[in-house]
Amino acid sequence: MKITAIGADISRNDVSCSQDLIKNLENDIPQLMDFGAHSAALTNITGDDVVISAFVPDNKLETINKEIMNILRNNAEDLGDISGVSEDPENAGEGISYVDAKINQDFFPDAVILAFDTYGGESFVNDVASSAIKAASSMDNVFDVQGSVVNSLKNIPGVGYVSDMTDDPVVVATIENIESVGVVAGAMVGAALGNKNVYLVKRGSPSYIIPGSVIVSVTAYMNGNVIDLAVPIEQRTRILNL
């Protein structure tokens, strides 16, 4: 079993996702279960980027990836990142952000998902995502952690190729113990925010930021349920007035 997550900019503008786009995606995503997904959801909405995630059997990975792409393509207000995907490596361009991670099947399928958005494709966002990956990689009860950072040509199973111009990475950590979800998410977000000009936002927030900045959303995807962790993390990090 794996979790697969595909992020894409298919919005008609550069700062947000319309309610119509979100509604249409959420209406179509349940179709993925007909193709073999254990569960699937619109896990992250970050600026003008969306992330569709699914828990899938290993032998259905390519099929589900292909169907996620169909959903993105069919509902796109602008082809954006979809147009950068190519079956021919030489024609690959700035495309979708893709990541998959292994799940320990002795536990419920739980994951923490971070999605990043930039206004101008700021290159340091890859370093920010890598910080989150490193923070989670040695933690207890993290079974696997992977990111979509592309440093060279990347082949996405069932979909095609994208080039190293691909930005707005997605990071996924799979968790073995539900009580570790908050611990891991807090560490990953803390590592990301320690970088310059990085801001935590709620799921669905527009990228109203000064160019040269990065926003990040964080969700827990637990046994098919999506929980926006930005608000509880904000509450936990407030200074108490004692």
Contact status, residue 111 vs residue 221, Cβ threshold 8 Å: yes
Smallest Cα–Cα separation from 172: which of 146, 191, 140, 200? 146
Contact between 54 and 40 under an 8 Å Cβ cutoff? The reply is: yes
Q: How many domains does the chain have?
A: 1
User: What is the reported pLDDT for 218?
Assistant: 98
* Percent of the chain that is helix, strand, coil (3-state, to 5): 35, 30, 35
The answer to whether position 242 is within a domain reads no
pLDDT tens digits, one per residue of 71-126:
999 999 999 899 999 999 999 999 999 999 999 999 999 999 999 999 877 889 99
Residue 105 burial by Cβ neighbours in a 10 Å radius (0-12, 13-18, 19+): exposed
In a domain, 241, yes or no: no
Would residue 220 count as lying in a domain? Answer: yes
Instruction: Encode pLDDT of 169-186 as tens digits.
Output: 999 999 999 999 999 999
User: Could you list the residue range(s) of the whole structural domain that residue 149 is in?
Assistant: 2-236
Residue 91 within any structural domain of the chain? yes
